[in-house]
């Protein structure tokens, strides 16, 4: 790994403060999971929303992409402010803004208005990505990987369980109801976090343009960062491609499941999220790089299983569990490895990580629609397997270079 100095003027190094209790880590995990779930309420409801708003299914498919584009923009423009603002005020404030956007989604009269509202929701619901580096700041060096793993697992569980909650509420009260419930939850967690987050001084005092520029300075200086960002974007891209296409697969023959049943498939992925929570401990023990490679190997296997299981719900479930364990484990390892590069710039590193991930996710969700139209589930699965092999090659080449010299990246 490059050992060049990544500090910038006004950014003193920050070490763990031992102020992260188990209860606070759990609150961060649940609040962050609730926030990131806002990106996925619409995913199992695309057919439902399209019919209600008199839109084509292709146009409804853009709801997921628009949310992720907004989220990537929020990560790029707002998350770096976590290094220069009082996070005790900033994070709850963003949650309240997200609540307003959620109400706008619930009241949207047309697909066009919904696209605008859901893009604004993506922009403002980045509080989970501010809680993750904050957890890294509050943890000490010995257990930072475990703490970050707990918080990131909460975000990932939020992604998965969002589909189940969304489907059940939509079946019971219509698709608009989920956005009202989510808005209420955002207000509640804003109040709880305002009380729970300890007072911390800003880690930097930089003008906003220089703050954004410093993100790219770290990326340019550190080869580890560039390598990790590329792997992260590919992982999230194939993950989103799989789950977007899965909605199409399960709503057609031979399955033809309702939106509530499709939403229940999110619960299957919880096994992966809970197992991946231990990935942070692998980083703490110095096994980050080899574990990342094994994760990508499992991703390839999961898409192979998915390809041969297009008419078997059992094989689809196996593919879901394998994919979620692997992607979530790789995600935690990537994020923790980045936080070790420049402790004084964790929010800015998280900006780069999340922006790249959700650009990859937006590409993945758009690719899912195109691949489904071109070749159905087989095209989606084979593309995922090929991308997994490409990522394995990238991982192997990175491990042969300077990255190999430091086991934690």
Query: Does residue 16 fall inside a structural domain?
Result: no
Encode the chain in three state secondary structure. CCCCCCCCCCCCCCCCCCCCCHHHHHHHHHHHHHHHHCCCCCHHHHHHHHHHCCCCHHHHHHHHHHHHHHHHHHHHHCHHHHHCCCHHHHHHHHHHHHHHHHHHHHHCCCHHHHHHHHHHHHHHCCHHHHHHHHHHHHCCCCCHHHHHHHHHHHHHHHHHHHHHHHHHHHHHHCHHHHHHHHHHHHHHHHHHHHHHCCCCCCCCCCCHHHHHHHHHHHHHHCHHHHHHHHHHHHHHHHHHHHHHHHHHHHCCCCCCCCHHHHHHHHHHCHHHHHHHCCHHHHHHCCCHHHHHHHHHHHHHHHHHHHHHCCCCHHHHHHHHHHHHHHHHHHHHHHHHHHHCCCHHHHHHHHHHHHHHHHHHHHHHHHHHHHHHHHHHHHHHHHHHHHHHHHHHHHHHHHHHCHHHHCCCC
**CATH number of the domain encompassing residue 190:** 1.20.1250.20
| Domain, as residue range, for 184 | 22-405
Count of domains forming the chain: 1
- Which pLDDT tens digits describe the chain residue by residue (409 residues)? 333 333 443 444 444 445 778 889 899 999 999 999 998 888 778 878 888 888 776 777 788 788 878 988 888 889 889 888 889 999 999 999 999 999 999 999 988 899 999 999 999 999 988 998 888 888 887 777 778 878 888 887 888 788 788 888 888 888 899 999 999 999 999 999 999 998 887 777 888 888 888 888 878 888 888 899 999 999 999 998 998 899 889 988 889 888 778 877 877 877 766 666 677 777 777 788 899 999 999 999 999 999 999 899 999 999 999 998 899 889 888 888 887 777 777 778 888 888 888 788 889 988 998 999 999 999 999 999 999 999 999 999 888 754 444 444 4
Give the per-residue pLDDT at 187: 97
The confidence score (pLDDT) of residue 277 equals 66
Per-residue pLDDT at 142: 72
The reported pTM is: 0.73
The pLDDT, as a whole number, for residue 161 is 83
**pLDDT at residue number 276:** 62
Instruction: Decide if 15 is inside a domain.
Output: no
Whether residue 5 is contained in a domain is answered as no
In a domain, 4, yes or no: no
pLDDT at 401: 55
Query: Quick one: pLDDT at residue 175?
Result: 87
pLDDT of residue 55: 79
């Amino acid at each position: 790994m490059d050992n060049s100095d990544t500090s910038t003027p006004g950014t003193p190094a920050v070490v763990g403060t031992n102020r992260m209790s188990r209860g606070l880590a759990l609150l961060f995990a649940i609040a962050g999971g609730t926030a990131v779930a806002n990106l996925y309420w619409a995913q199992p409801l695309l057919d439902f929303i399209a019919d209600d708003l008199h839109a084509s299914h292709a146009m409804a498919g853009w709801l997921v992409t628009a949310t992720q584009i907004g989220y990537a923009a929020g990560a790029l423009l707002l998350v770096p402010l976590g290094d220069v603002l009082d996070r005790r005020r900033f994070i709850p404030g963003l949650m309240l803004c997200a609540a307003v956007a959620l109400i706008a989604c619930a009241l949207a009269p047309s697909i066009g208005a919904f696209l605008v509202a859901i893009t604004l929701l993506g922009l403002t619901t980045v509080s989970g990505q501010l809680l993750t580096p904050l957890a890294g700041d509050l943890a000490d060096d010995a257990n930072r990987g475990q703490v970050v793993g707990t918080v990131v697992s909460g975000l990932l569980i939020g992604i998965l369980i969002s589909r189940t909650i969304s489907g059940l509420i939509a079946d019971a009260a219509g698709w608009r109801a989920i956005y009202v419930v989510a808005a209420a939850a955002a207000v509640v967690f804003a109040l709880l976090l305002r009380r729970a987050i300890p007072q911390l001084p800003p880690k930097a005092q930089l003008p906003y343009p220089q703050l954004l520029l410093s993100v790219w300075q770290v990326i340019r200086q550190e080869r580890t960062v560039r390598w990790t960002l590329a792997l992260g974007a590919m992982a999230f891209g194939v993950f989103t491609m799989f789950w977007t296409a899965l909605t199409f697969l399960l709503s057609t023959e031979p399955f033809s499941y309702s939106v509530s049943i499709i939403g229940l498939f999110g619960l299957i992925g919880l096994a992966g999220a809970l197992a991946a929570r231990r990935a942070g401990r692998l980083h703490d023990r110095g096994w980050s790089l080899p574990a990342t490679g094994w994760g990508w190997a499992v991703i390839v296997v999961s898409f192979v299983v998915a390809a041969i299981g297009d008419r078997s719900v059992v094989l689809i479930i196996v593919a879901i569990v394998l994919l979620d364990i692997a992607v979530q484990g790789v995600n935690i390892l990537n994020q923790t490895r980045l936080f070790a590069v420049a402790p004084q710039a964790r929010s800015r590193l998280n900006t780069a990580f999340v922006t790249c991930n959700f650009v990859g996710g937006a590409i993945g969700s758009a690719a899912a629609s195109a691949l489904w139209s071109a070749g159905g589930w087989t095209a989606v699965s084979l593309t995922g397997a090929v991308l997994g092999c490409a990522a394995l090659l990238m991982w192997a080449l990175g491990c042969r270079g300077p990255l190999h010299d430091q086991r934690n990246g």
